[in-house]
Chains A and B, each alone.
Chain A
Amino acid sequence: EVHLLESGGGLVQPGGSLRLSCAASGFTFSDHGVNWVRQAPGKGLEWVSGIGGDSGYITYYADSVKGRFTISRDNSKNTLYLQMSSLRAEDTAVYYCARDIDWLSFDSWGQGTVVTVSS
């Protein structure tokens, strides 16, 4: 069974940094692209970033996080990361990692980790 488990969320001050992790199991991690999607309190879903599978690890970012967030993966540890810096109040959200089977088609999701940016 496919399983994704996020960790690393918490309370951080504006301008601070945080690194999220997503541990994957139940499938061949390197065969799939993986993404981060977030949801601010009471708001809709927002795609944040994605990284390809074994073929070159191409990365993609939403304009709202470009230059501040960095996505990476360690296939030897079956883990996805999101390094977040220069955090803003508007980055406050539940952050989900998700496995993709096609462009923007995410068939498995983690339970989410909460990031709160506040002083």
Chain B
Amino acid sequence: QSVLTQPPSASGTPGQRVTISCSGSNSNIGSKHVSWYQQFPGTAPKLLIYRVDRRPSGVPDRFSGSKSGTSASLAISGLQSEDEADYYCAAWDDGLNGGVFGGGTQLTVL
């Protein structure tokens, strides 16, 4: 069981807006910044969002992040077939004094 809870799967059609949730607690999401990663099979993860809603250079503005209380969300607008990948949320946890990842969400573009 991961400390951060994500739905195992999500799906959408091209052009649609999809949201992936990440639920935590006061010791992680509730008090810390959240990051989001995209991973394709057999490759290293890629940072999509950091500090809740900031995008590294090169990440399209179709990807956005938000946080409310102890939950965070990743939104992908204008869904494209190449967005089909696994997505992970991550945050520092003060109680564990370590980092935690969500279990990951497999996004399917129908």
Q: Which of A24-32, A74-82, A107-115 is near enough to bind chain B?
A: A107-115
Q: What number of A residues sit within 8 Å (CB to CB) of B?
A: 23
Cβ–Cβ contact A47 & B44, under 8 A? no
Cβ–Cβ contact A105 & B101, under 8 A? no
Q: What number of B residues sit within 8 Å (CB to CB) of A?
A: 27
B10 at the interface (CB under 8 A from A): no
Within the assembled complex, what's the spacing in Å between the Cα atoms of A96 and B110?
31
Across the interface, A103 reaches (CB within 8 A) one of B33, B37, B39, B88, namely B33
Contact count A vs B, C-beta below 8 Å: 72
B32 at the interface (CB under 8 A from A): yes
Output the least CB separation between A36 and chain B (Å).
10
Across the interface, B98 reaches (CB within 8 A) one of A44, A45, A60, A110, namely A60
What residues of chain B lie closer than 8 Å to A62, measured between beta carbons?
96, 98-99
| Cβ-closest chain A residue relative to B34 | A104
A89 at the interface (CB under 8 A from B): no
Within the assembled complex, what's the spacing in Å between the Cα atoms of A35 and B99?
10
Convert A86-116 into 0s and 1s, putting 1 for each residue whose CB lies closer than 8 angstroms to a CB of B: 0000000000100001111111011110000
| Cβ-closest chain A residue relative to B46 | A109
Given contacts A45-B45, A45-B90, A104-B91, 8 further A-B contacts (CB under 8 A): A60-B98, A62-B96, A104-B35, A104-B90, A104-B99, A105-B47, A105-B50, A109-B46
